[in-house]
Each structure stands twice: as C-alpha cells, then as structure tokens.
Structure 1
Amino acid sequence: MTGKDVPGLQEAASVIPAGTKINVTFLGNEDLEMRVAASKAVKDLGFVPVPHISARRLKSQDQLEEFLGRLQEVGATEHVFSVGGDPAVPEGPYPDSLSVIRTGILQKYGVKEVSIAGYPEGHPDIKDDVLWRHLEDKSAALKEQGLDAVILTQFSFDTDPVMGWIKDVRSRGIDTEIRIGTPGPAGIKRLLGFARRFGIGANAMIVKKYGFSLTNLMGTAGPDRFVSDLSALLGKDEAAGPVKLHFYTFGGLRATSEWVAEYRAAQA
C-alpha cells in the first residue's frame, strides 16, 4: 500500500487475515507523516507493517534515524524492506540498500527482519551480475548482523523465469525465505503498463500463459493460473526451500484480498 491507501486498507481489513504482512511504500510524493500514519494504521488494524526504506531517497543519516524513530514510536520497526529506490542519483549518502544495512542503525530502532529485493527477470537499469553480487552481499550482511531476512521479488507473469531464478538463488547457498511478487487482479492495460515500467516480460505468449489476451485490453485478469502453476512446480522441487507470495495490489487492496479469500476457499 502507499501512504494514500489508508481508507482502502480500512475497507479491506475485514477480508485480510490477522497478522498479514503489509508493505508500506516510500515514494517521492509522500512525506514522513503519511508514511508513519500508514504504518500505524496497518499495526492498529491487526496486521504487520513492513515499511519501505528507500536508500537513494534518503538525504542524510539524520533523516533515516528520524524515520526509524517515528516508526518505532508506533510499533512499526520489527519488519522493514530495504530497497535502493528510483532516483538515478542518490539524494544523500546511501547509493543502495546494502549501504543502509551496513550502517548497523536498523537494530538500534528494533528492526528484527529485513526484506531485500529480488529480480527473477532482471532489472532494466542494473546488470545481472551486479544484482547477484548485491543479493549475496546483503544476505551475508544480514546474517552477520543477526537479522532475519526475506527476499521479496518483483512481480512476474511467467513461472519459468521464476523457478529458474529460485534455483539460482539456492545454488548460491542462500536459504532465505523467498516471497514471489504476484499481481493481484487488475485491469489488463494497467498490468501491462506496470510490466513495461519495470522491465517485466509481457509478450503475447507469456500473457496467454498467464491467462489473458492482448486483444482484450479492456478486461481484467487475476493470478489464478500463475499461482496454481507455481504451486505445482514448487511441490515437485524439494530444493526450492521456503517460498511464499507477495501481492502487488494494482487493482486495489480489497480486490486482491477478496481474490485471495476466494482462491483459498476454492483450494480447500
């Protein structure tokens, strides 16, 4: 959710299981008060806030500590997501999420678990060898500091690169829990727009496999086939280790939450 999504969260709260992790963004058009208020709302409604720390948007160590201090006041620092962020040029001393982790400041404010980013289909602006080196370095740094880790991935429409990437992660000796980014139900044009923005494969063959057609852009699509196929593939691969889902609520918090509830009921 973004800092503006508190009303949407309140509307969806009755459909979301208690204790669900809910990530709270750190966008350029949000301020400290919005981010803290959103994290507090998540906590107050019985869920687990996972506020983002956007390294390249931080102007100083003081800003980082002010943010963490305010989050700690509302009980929202145990879980955070340390990510590089969008600015091409860092606005302060932190060029990437690893530099934030290495400060040792997170533990000072009660952080126990840090999510880090994974990119099964690569990153449009970062070379693959750099991505892998950073993933290994962040995993090692968190282990050295005694912090729990979660790898939270960019969303995908295709299980093949996801499974191949999970295999590569495990081959590097990283046994951290992985949460696979999964688009919640949303308009097809909206999903494709996000895919283009983040460099996600979305050609005709892939989206047909996912369950929608490029000839019907006015419709909506959900991740039913993707989740079912991924579950089946993971069930055959004992080496995959712990894997869960992370939903991107492009179509809204309530729509995604209702889809999850309906899918679970159908599986049961």
Structure 2
Amino acid sequence: MDHVTSVHQQQGVIQLPCLPYTLEITGKAIGEIVAAQQVIPQGTAINIAFLGNENHAQRIHAAKTIRDCGFEPVPIISSRRLLSVEDRDQLLSNLIKEAAPKRFLLVGGDPAQPAGPFQDSLSLLNSKIVESFGIRHVAITGYPEGHPKIDQKELWRCLKWKLDYLRQAECSVEITTQFGFDAQAIVRWIERLRSEGIDTPVRVGIPGPADAAKLLRFAKQFGVVASASIMRRYGLSLANLMRRSVADRYWEDLNALLLKQDLGQVYFHLYPFGGVAESVTWMNEQLRQRSS
C-alpha cells in the first residue's frame, strides 16, 4: 500500500499517481476548499458531486476553483441526471476547457427515472464518452456493503463489465467505494476482488469526523444500512447524536484489518461530512500516525 509518487506506464496504460487520499465536495460548498487549501495536500484529487439541486455552471465553477487552488478536479458524471447527448457533450466540453480534469468518476445516479437517454454508467460508457473526449483516467464506484436497489450478483457483473471496457479503451481505472461503517464487509469485498484476479486500485470511502445525527442523515441519503451491532459499536443512535468518535474508531477497525494482509493498492477517499478543514486535518493526522 505504498504511495505511488510518479506517473508510470503499465501494459500500455498511463497510470496517475495513487495519492494517499482523495476527498469530495459539492458545487455549493466549494468555498470550503478555498478556505482549507493550506491544510489540503497539494495535488489532492477532489471529487465534485453531481447533485440534483445544482447546475452545470456550479459544477464547472467548482472544477475551475479546485484547479486554481492547485488541486486535481475529478468531476462526477451522473448518467441518469444527464438530459441528452447534447447536455453530456456541453458539460464535458466546458469542464475540459475550464479546468482540464485528468480523471472522471462515472456513476449511475440517484433518480428513479433517468432524465435523458442514459439508464446507468454502462450506457454512458457505451455512448463512447471515453473515446469522444479522450478520457484516459476513470474512477468507478464500488459497494462493499451492497446497494439498496441492486442485488449483489448484478453489482459484480456491472463492475467487471466496466473494468473490462475501460481496460480495452486503455484507460487507467480506480474503484472508489461508497462510505460505510462495516470494516469487515469492506475487507471481505476487497479480498473477493483480489481472489478474482482484479488488481485495480481501491479507494475505501471514509466518513470524516461528524456528529452521529449528520452521519445517520448521510447514511440514509446514500442508502447505507448499518447493522444493530455496528450502530452500537460506533454510537450511531438517537441517544448519542453528538458523539464524534465514530471516525476514530472506524478508522482503527479498518486499518487493523487491512494491515493483516497484502490486499494490493488500497487507498482512501474522504467524505468530509463534518466540514473540509476539520476532516482533512483529521485525515492528515491519521496518515501521519499510520506511517510513523
């Protein structure tokens, strides 16, 4: 799990540096990146959420701001929120023109009914988005604890299809997982990846420090379901709404399991639910202690 510090080439595919962690922001909250830029490691890749209550102008502005601050913008493209092929092309063209992102994260998206022609990220890939825009680096989503609307068999089928497609397109690929609270489920999921010969780098979604009420709200929004035992272990209950130790304990549990075996390239993706500055400061300290 060493930090890859330079771009390298493997089997004809140019690989981006595998940064110790990436993080996420929304267009409306982009000011938090500007305010916290002194504590965010230079060159950090920052995913830009594709929310239904934001527009393309906000997404493009966020990407440009991230680039101007010295970080790497990673636009998330929500297939089911795109209105048309023309809408897709306009968004991608403007993102590339204004912020020159080196990688994109392609997802299906939340709407029950697609707003346009793309049912999911498979159909978006099949529309030749990678080839049309010269995209060389793509991240896709993994669901170690399952998906509320898609069964496990279909999740695995789609994951393998996307990996095969992107490799044939000579794209480097990372898997960014949904955040969760079950460290054992996450490690079992990575073990299965490796046992099936999938050596793709994995970024495990980490919820940053936040009170339990906020974590529960985001868990519901993201479709994350925690068992009763997990809820008790981390104090995720109505009786502990202001408890902020969830991140520390979860981090300890996850790392204890990861360090027991060699699971290849495993990194982290920070969901800064409690605010960017606090979450980044916390993550920097965790990684400092981990490497000491």
**TM-score relative to the length of structure 1:** 0.93
Task: Show the counterpart of 2:17.
Answer: none
Q: Equivalents in 2 of 1:185, 1:45: separation in Å? A: 24
The superposition leaves residues 131-163 of structure 1 with CA deviations (integer Å, 9 ceiling, x where unpaired) of 111001001100110011111111111211001
Task: Show the counterpart of 1:14.
Answer: 38
Task: Show the counterpart of 1:54.
Answer: 78
Q: Structure 2: state its 5+ residue gaps.
A: 1-24
Q: Equivalents in 2 of 1:92, 1:213: separation in Å? A: 38
The superposition leaves residues 27-46 of structure 1 with CA deviations (integer Å, 9 ceiling, x where unpaired) of 11111110000011111111
Q: Equivalents in 2 of 1:137, 1:233: separation in Å? A: 28
Task: Show the counterpart of 2:99.
Answer: 75
* 8 Å contact kept, 1:204–1:213: no
**3-state SS of 2:178 partner:** strand
Residues 1:232 and 1:218: Cα distance change in structure 2 (over 3 Å):
closer
Is residue 211 of structure 2 the alignment partner of residue 187 of structure 1? yes
Is residue 247 of structure 2 the alignment partner of residue 262 of structure 1? no
The superposition leaves residues 172-195 of structure 1 with CA deviations (integer Å, 9 ceiling, x where unpaired) of 322111101110111111101222
Residues 1:230 and 1:219: Cα distance change in structure 2 (over 3 Å):
closer
Q: Equivalents in 1 of 2:217, 2:268: separation in Å? A: 21
Structure 1 segment 207-218 matched on structure 2, within 5 A: 207-209=231-233, 211-212=234-235, 214=237, 215-218=239-242
The superposition leaves residues 62-92 of structure 1 with CA deviations (integer Å, 9 ceiling, x where unpaired) of 1111111001112333210000001111111
Q: Equivalents in 1 of 2:129, 2:157: separation in Å? A: 22
**TM-score relative to the length of structure 2:** 0.86
The aligned length equals 266
1:81 maps to a residue whose letter is L
1:256 maps to a residue whose letter is S
**3-state SS of 2:216 partner:** helix
Identical amino acids, percent of aligned pairs: 43
Which structure's relative contact order is higher, taking Cα pairs within 8 Å and 6+ residues apart? Answer: 2
39, 55, 59: which is aligned to 1:35? 59
Is residue 234 of structure 2 the alignment partner of residue 237 of structure 1? no
Q: Equivalents in 2 of 1:11, 1:170: separation in Å? A: 39
Task: Show the counterpart of 1:247.
Answer: 270
115, 127, 132: which is aligned to 1:108? 132
80, 85, 107: which is aligned to 2:109? 85
Residues 1:139 and 1:10: Cα distance change in structure 2 (over 3 Å):
same
**3-state SS of 2:37 partner:** helix
Q: Structure 1: state its 5+ residue gaps.
A: none
